[in-house]
Structure 1
Amino acid sequence: MTEIPDIKAFNADIAAEFRANGGKVGGPFEGADLLLLTTTGAKSGEPRLSPLAYFTVDGKMIVVGSFAGADVDPAWVHNLRKHARAHIEVGTADYDVIARELPHAERDEIYPKLVEQAPVFGEYQSKTSRVIPLFELERV
């Protein structure tokens, strides 16, 4: 697993490329719909930046707490569970959002639709026994 300082540097590099190119990046995220999510740290209270793929499913902006199928949730999931208000950058726009974790029934309905758009998320779910959480981000 990648060490925390490596994740911070990776995220900072992606964010710089995203901002320099109107929301587009290359590498492993080339062609993906990407956003920059700024949460409030659950423990630190400090701003935390996470570049994430997002999906539009049934008219909802959805982000996936997959952590590539790791057995733990990514830090941003813990942050949103404690502080639902966040800020996103999408393309050249930025605005505040309220995050809502989808309840299990709704999550189970939407997850297959998400896998249709990005099959890798089916692989991630099969790698872990935890239920990968989905969050809807709604503009405030």
Structure 2
Amino acid sequence: MHAGGVTEDFNTRVIREFRENDGRVGPPFEGAPMILVHHRGRRSGTEHVAPLVFQQVDAAFAVFASKGGAPVHPQWYANLLANPDTTAEVGAEHGGREVPVRARELHGEERAGVWEEQKRRMPGFADYEVKAAPRVIPVVLLEPR
């Protein structure tokens, strides 16, 4: 894909599709609930946007620092821990708007419940868990503020 003559990277393409299609994107995330999470670089201060699969948890959104099962955490995770007050863009089924949120990492039983449900809904996350081991994949709750 090209945007202005420049080849789009994967995340840029997913972000563009999300914004152009009321929160829906094509493969490989077609049909998955997606959210765009804004995060500020903890060293650079630069604003970034991460397109992520989410799970609705009451009024909040759980996201998963799986990085496709990589052995290290994604940058967005460390950025959210350093700067937890941010915004998230939600698709039309959630009002199609930008929501101010506060990021909070889940631990213990709270994390386990959300993580097990995510693996049930999208079995690929169980594969990520195996590939990432011994790294435990963080679960971050984005709570509207």
TM over 0.5: yes
Q: Give the alignment of 1:48-127 within 5 angstroms.
A: 48-57=48-57, 60-91=60-91, 92-127=96-131
* Maintained 8 Å contact 1:57/1:114: no
Structure 1 runs not aligned, ≥5 long: 1-7
User: How many Å apart are 1:125 and its aligned residue?
Assistant: 0.6
State the 1:54 CA deviation. 0.4
Partner of 1:134: 139
Return the offset for 1:110. Answer: 2.4
| Aligned alpha-carbon RMSD (Å) | 1.5
Structure 1 or 2: larger helix share?
A: 1
Q: Secondary structure at the match of 2:45?
A: coil
Task: Identify the residue that residue 26 of structure 2 maps to in structure 1.
Answer: 26
Q: CA deviation at 1:47?
A: 0.3
Question: What is the TM-score when the length of structure 2 is the normalising length?
Answer: 0.86
What is the TM-score of this pair, normalised by structure 1?
A: 0.88
Q: Which amino acid in structure 2 is aligned with residue 28 of structure 1? A: P
Report deviation, 1:38.
0.7
Runs ≥4 residues deviating over 6 A: none
Give how far 1:109 is off: 3.0
**Deviation larger for 97-106 or 62-71:** 97-106
Aligned residues between the structures: 133
Q: 1:19 to 1:32 in 2, by over 3 A?
A: same
Distance apart, 1:53 and its partner CA: 0.5
Identity of aligned residues (%): 38
8 Å CA contact 1:57, 1:113 repeated in 2: no
Aligned residue type for 1:124: Y
